[in-house]
Amino acid sequence: MVATKPVDFRKGAEGLAALVRERLEADPFSGVIYVFRSKRADRVKLIFWDGSGVVLVAKRLEDGRFNWPAVHDGVMRLSAAQFQALFEGLDWRRVHDARRIARPTATS
């Protein structure tokens, strides 16, 4: 889940977990990856529960910005492929689910 509004990047794992609970009204210990951005969109922080503790990951792009959804209060959900593209600094909006092709019923 992606928090679309920038957060104070001085927050650590506990502060971000509190934001997940209070602002996003979600469970930070569910195993879902929560993604937060800085105001300049050149840094992201991720938090998630790995079964033994809260993991905090931070990434700063050396050149450019993360392609981020429009800033609104709230969250959005990304597929695993979209999340990977976002984390790599690519345009996650260009990632689509694989096309499903109808299975043939009989051979000709």
- pLDDT by position in tens, the chain (length 108): 888 788 899 999 999 999 999 988 899 999 999 999 888 888 999 999 999 999 999 999 888 888 776 656 667 777 888 878 888 878 777 776 666 777 777 765
Q: Can you give the residue range of the structural domain that contains 58?
A: 2-94
Tell me if 104 is assigned to some domain. Answer: no
Counting the structural domains of the chain, the total is 1
Q: Rounded CA gap, 85 and 101, in Å?
A: 24
Residues near 78 by beta carbon (within 8 Å), at least 6 away in sequence = 1, 2, 35, 86, 92
Tell me if 64 is assigned to some domain. Answer: yes
Q: Please tell me the predicted confidence (pLDDT) of residue 54.
A: 93
Tell me if 58 is assigned to some domain. Answer: yes
Q: Please tell me the predicted confidence (pLDDT) of residue 13.
A: 94
Q: Please tell me the predicted confidence (pLDDT) of residue 71.
A: 56
